[in-house]
Amino acid sequence: MLILPESHGDFRRLSGVQDHLKFEVLPQGSVFFDQGDTLKFFFFVRRGIAKVSRISGDGHQMITELLLPGDLCGALCALDRCPYPVSATAVTEVEIAKLETGAFHQLAEKFPELHRCSLEGCGTKVRQQRSMMTSIAMERIPHRLWKVFLVIAERMGEPTPAGLRIPFPFSRQEVAEMIGATNETVTRAFTQMKKAGELQETGSYVTMLGIKDLEELDALADS
Amino acid sequence: MLILPESHGDFRRLSGVQDHLKFEVLPQGSVFFDQGDTLKFFFFVRRGIAKVSRISGDGHQMITELLLPGDLCGALCALDRCPYPVSATAVTEVEIAKLETGAFHQLAEKFPELHRCSLEGCGTKVRQQRSMMTSIAMERIPHRLWKVFLVIAERMGEPTPAGLRIPFPFSRQEVAEMIGATNETVTRAFTQMKKAGELQETGSYVTMLGIKDLEELDALADS
DNA sequence: AGAAGCGTCTGATCCAGATCAGTTTCCTGG
DNA sequence: CCAGGAAACTGATCTGGATCAGACGCTTCT
pLDDT digits (tens, 9 = 90+) for B77-134: 766 677 888 999 999 999 999 988 888 878 877 777 777 777 777 888 888 899 999 9
- Whole-number pLDDT of residue A40: 81
User: To which H or E segment does residue B14 belong?
Assistant: none
Q: Which of A20, A169, A175 is nearest to A102 (CA)?
A: A20
Assign A1 a pLDDT band (cuts: 50, 70, 90): very low
* Helical packing angle, A172-179 and A183-195, nearest 10°: 100
pLDDT beyond 50 at B221: yes
Choice among A193-202, B182-191, B208-217 with the minimum mean pLDDT = B208-217
Nearest CA distance, A219 vs chain B (angstrom): 9
- Whole-number pLDDT of residue A38: 82
Give DSSP secondary structure letters for A14-31.
Answer: STTTGGG-EEEEE-TT-E
pLDDT beyond 80 at A53: yes
Q: How much of chain B exceeds pLDDT 70, in percent?
A: 91
- Whole-number pLDDT of residue A75: 75
- Whole-number pLDDT of residue B109: 77
Report the DSSP beta bridge partners of residue B200: B207
- Whole-number pLDDT of residue A11: 59
- Residue pair B136/B144 in contact by the 8 Å Cβ criterion: yes
- Whole-number pLDDT of residue B68: 94
* Helical packing angle, B141-156 and B214-222, nearest 10°: 150
Among A134, A136, A143, A174, most B C-beta atoms within 10 A, so best to mutate, is A134
Distance CA B147, CA B132 (A): 7
Answer whether B133 touches A (CB < 8 Å): yes
Residues belonging to chain B: 223
Distance CA B71, CA B66 (A): 9
Distance CA B157, CA B168 (A): 11
Q: What is the mean pLDDT of residues A77-85?
A: 75
The Cβ of residue B52 has, within 10 Å, a number of other Cβ atoms equal to 22
Q: What is the mean pLDDT of residues A99-112?
A: 81
- Whole-number pLDDT of residue B215: 83
- If 0-12 CB within 10 Å is exposed, 13-18 middle and 19+ buried, where does residue B158 land? exposed
Q: How much of chain B exceeds pLDDT 90, in percent?
A: 53
CA dihedral B86, B172, B144, B134 (to 10 degrees): -20
Q: Which of A125, A26, A33, A119 is nearest to A84 (CA)?
A: A33
Answer whether B56 touches A (CB < 8 Å): yes
CA of A174 to C1' of D11 (A): 23
Q: How much of chain A exceeds pLDDT 90, in percent?
A: 53
Distance CA A117, CA A115 (A): 5
Q: What is the mean pLDDT of residues A97-104?
A: 86
pLDDT beyond 50 at B31: yes
Q: Which one is predicted more confidently, B14 or B46?
A: B46
**Long-range interactions of A135-140: CB distance < 8 A, separation 24+:** A135/A179, A136/A179, A136/A180, A136/B133, A136/B136, A136/B137, A136/B180, A137/B62, A137/B136, A137/B179, A137/B180, A138/B56, A138/B60, A138/B62, A138/B180, A139/B56
Contacts of B62 in chain A (CB under 8 A): 133-134, 137-138
Phi, psi of B202 (to 5 degrees): -135, 115
Assign A124 a pLDDT band (cuts: 50, 70, 90): confident
Give DSSP secondary structure letters for B57-123.
Answer: TTS-EEEEEEE-TT-EESHHHHHHTPPPSSEEEESS-EEEEEEEHHHHHHHHHH-THHHHHHHHHHH
| Amino acid symbol at A8 | H
Q: What is the mean pLDDT of residues B206-220?
A: 86
pLDDT beyond 60 at A7: no
Contacts of A223 in chain B (CB under 8 A): 57-58
Angle made by CA atoms A193, A208, A223, in degrees to the nearest 5: 75
Q: Which nucleotide is nearest to B191 (CA to C1')?
A: C9
Q: Which nucleotide is nearest to B201 (CA to C1')?
A: C8
Angle made by CA atoms B20, B99, A73, in degrees to the nearest 5: 125
A38 torsion bin: left (phi>0), alpha (psi -120 to 50), beta (else): beta
- Whole-number pLDDT of residue A189: 98
Assign B213 a pLDDT band (cuts: 50, 70, 90): confident
Q: Mean pLDDT, chain A, as a whole number?
A: 86
Distance CA B143, CA B179 (A): 10
Distance CA A118, CA A101 (A): 13
Nearest CA distance, B102 vs chain A (angstrom): 15
Q: What is the mean pLDDT of residues B183-199?
A: 97
CB contact under 8 A, A115 and B120: no
Interface residues 139-178 of B with strand D (CB < 7 Å): 140-141
CB contact under 8 A, A57 and B125: no
Answer whether A133 touches B (CB < 8 Å): yes
pLDDT beyond 90 at A72: no
CB contact under 8 A, B115 and A120: no
Distance CA B91, CA B94 (A): 8
